[in-house]
Structure 1
Amino acid sequence: MTGTIHGGWDGGEDALALIDAHHHLWDLSDRSYPWLCDKIEPAFFLGDYAAIRRDYLPDDYRRDAAGHRVVATVHCEAEWRRDDPVAETRWVSGVSARHGFPNAIVAHAWLDTPDADEVLAAQAAFPLVRGIRSKPVTSPAPGAMVPGAPGTMQDRRWLDGFARLGVHGLSYDLRVPFWHLAEAAEVARAFPGTPIALNHTGLPLDRSEEGLALWRRGMEALARAPNVHVKVSEFGLPGTAWDYEANRRVVLEAIAIFGIERCMFASNFPVAGLRISYDALVRSMARMLAHLPRADQARFFAGNAADFYRIALPAAA
């Protein structure tokens, strides 16, 4: 898993360690991922995703991350068929035992079903499981939310399930469109003891000034809850090339809002590979943060994720 960055960002043995706080692996041989094997998701946030409808296994990740000093990774649930989410955790745990990574797992469990607590307990029993990602029901556009609808972050059953995360010592990975961030902030304030990792920088998919203003207000609301951290990742947009300057603005604003101590690097590979290579992503992020003290860069690229996901690293890393 380890390598060295050559040129452009500290090259050589002095390169900073990376913990990838969010990536996926999948084996499509048993068709356990409906969105990758069967139906096409017409509303997929990056548009056409045919290029990732193939196996993505440890050797594929190693090839993508080659040349970078990746010392640990966090696997995030990848929409395994929802009737047996524990099976994905079992499979990923086996992958880790054979390959040495992932080093932590964010598993899946519905929070609003009658068996929610049973599934949470089963997931928490795996040594590598640190948290749960369970996407709440969201609206297709700003202003279209139905308050309190089943499965939403205002649903009493969903909130009761969320309360069980703390009982099982689990964190929560939050993935919602940016127009739901303020609503998510209310949940974060209601459960201050549950660590929350906001996925993909809050998904600022509307880069108009109006869209960014709404994203910014949601990010600021979340940042007022000290239990919320941010995975600074996935800046891809549908039908648009990866834009360094536009994405730099988002990265620097997110860090300014949350503080470097609550931000962590994540690749979202292979999904992010629809827009940018792993190498170009790391180099771009390093360039964006080159003005920061080296200690802050080290926290962003590895230390914060190690703390949040309780990953023990050798002293050399």
Structure 2
Amino acid sequence: MSTQPSHRAGTQLAIVDAHHHLWDLASGHYPWLQDAYHGPAFFLGEYEKLRRDYLADDYQRDTYPYRVVASVHIEAERSRMQQVDETRWLHEVHERSGTPSVVVPHVSFVQPDRDEVLAAHMAWPRVRGIRSKPVTARSPQERVTGQAGTMQDPRWLDGLAALEGYNLSWDLRVPFWHLAQAAEVAAAFPRIRMAVNHTGLPLDRSEAGLAEWRRGLEALAANPNVYVKLSEFGLAGGRWDADSNRRVIRDAVAIFGPERAMFASNLPVSSLSASFPAIVEAVLEALADYDDAAIARIFAHNAIAFYRIGD
């Protein structure tokens, strides 16, 4: 008789995907996908592969045969003139397909009509949080601290504070060299739940880079309102480094504990480096020493609680 832990049967594990995207290029405008692209190469791989519709059927196909019992849609950078249109469209998609379960839309914390857009989002029952990316430096060597739109901008902080009145969480997406600054924000707003996107984007897998990433995560984890998403382990050019990914996953869970870590796929962007089964199995392998209760929290229960799925 096998003594293998039951959570090793990944296709039988109940999964709540805490971070994915959908888009329909005919019904909405996604500038980063549809407009002429003149910037540097997309940092996670072959950008052209993303310039197509990605609908609920595509998501369900990519996650089969795993038991994804619920999912969280994170804003997909639809035109900032169509922020509420994206929320409406996602509710229509849910009515047809059951996917996604809840929605995290966008509003810029510094846009003039911020309060009106927030109120319009709240008219839709599946809205649970907001993702609003602060202005960040392009590299660890660049400095933008205190500039307009950064995490030190009083106007930006005022926008973040507005989430508390709506019981909305904040999805925090910054590169690893801004994690320590984000921890200062988390400490200043202890009643706002925050989810670190993409494991804090540990893009530099050198010893020095990982040390800085760990310091940032440790500073964030000191705040009990902050959770971490175990997602997007791909590297530049679509590279998948199994050894360092294993280390990143283990370190992130060791820092936050299994009570504040959430599995997330980042589909379809993550498909530039790995399939959904590969991502699930990589996380399970990295966390092989954790018991079934911890695995159930990481893969489902924490996201259910954080995003109030079922409310």
- TM-score between both structures, scaled by the size of structure 1: 0.93
The reply on whether 1:154 has 2:158 as its aligned counterpart is: no
The match for 2:188 is 190
Q: What is the CA–CA distance in structure 2 between the aligned matches of 1:10 and 1:238, rounded to whole Å?
A: 31
The match for 1:29 is 26
Residues 45, 272 of structure 2: 8 Å contact kept: no
Residues 31, 37 of structure 1: 8 Å contact kept: no
The match for 1:109 is 107
Corresponding residue pairs, total: 305
The reply on whether 1:18 has 2:15 as its aligned counterpart is: yes
State the shift of 1:30 in Å: 4.0
The residue type paired with residue 24 of structure 2 is D
Q: Which runs of 5+ in 2 are unaligned?
A: 1-5
Q: What is the CA–CA distance in structure 1 between the aligned matches of 2:43 and 2:163, rounded to whole Å?
A: 28
State the shift of 1:112 in Å: 0.9
Q: What is the CA–CA distance in structure 2 between the aligned matches of 1:83 and 1:113, rounded to whole Å?
A: 11
Q: Secondary structure at the match of 2:237?
A: coil
Q: What is the CA–CA distance in structure 1 between the aligned matches of 2:132 and 2:15, rounded to whole Å?
A: 26
Residues 71, 100 of structure 2: 8 Å contact kept: yes
Q: What is the CA–CA distance in structure 2 between the aligned matches of 1:183 and 1:11, rounded to whole Å?
A: 36
Q: What is the CA–CA distance in structure 1 between the aligned matches of 2:272 and 2:79, rounded to whole Å?
A: 23
Cα RMSD for the two superposed structures:
1.6
The match for 2:284 is 286
The reply on whether 1:39 has 2:36 as its aligned counterpart is: yes
The reply on whether 1:253 has 2:251 as its aligned counterpart is: yes
The residue type paired with residue 290 of structure 1 is A
**1:159-170 alignment runs, 5 A limit:** 159-170=157-168
State the shift of 1:242 in Å: 1.1
State percent identity of aligned pairs: 59
State the shift of 1:48 in Å: 2.8
* CA distance 1:136–1:43, change in 2 (3 Å): farther
State the shift of 1:29 in Å: 1.3
Residues 8, 283 of structure 1: 8 Å contact kept: no
Moved over 3 A (4+): none
Q: What is the CA–CA distance in structure 1 between the aligned matches of 2:121 and 2:42, rounded to whole Å?
A: 27
The match for 2:264 is 266
Q: Secondary structure at the match of 1:295?
A: helix
* CA distance 1:293–1:156, change in 2 (3 Å): same
The match for 1:4 is none
State the shift of 1:147 in Å: 2.2
**1:1-317 alignment runs, 5 A limit:** 9-10=8-9, 15-30=12-27, 32-40=29-37, 41-42=39-40, 44-239=42-237, 241-312=239-310
Q: What is the CA–CA distance in structure 1 between the aligned matches of 2:40 and 2:224, rounded to whole Å?
A: 36
Q: Which runs of 5+ in 1 are unaligned?
A: 1-6
The residue type paired with residue 34 of structure 2 is C
Residues 73, 104 of structure 2: 8 Å contact kept: yes
Note the alpha carbon deviations across 1:235-262, whole angstroms, 9 max, x for none. 1001253122110000000001111100
State the shift of 1:288 in Å: 1.6
- TM-score between both structures, scaled by the size of structure 2: 0.95
Q: Secondary structure at the match of 2:17?
A: strand
Q: What is the CA–CA distance in structure 1 between the aligned matches of 2:160 and 2:284, rounded to whole Å?
A: 35
Residues 45, 273 of structure 2: 8 Å contact kept: no
The residue type paired with residue 290 of structure 2 is L
State the shift of 1:275 in Å: 0.4
State the shift of 1:43 in Å: 5.3
Q: Secondary structure at the match of 1:144?
A: coil
- When structure 1 is superposed on structure 2, of 168-177 and 40-49 the one drifting more is 40-49
The residue type paired with residue 46 of structure 1 is L
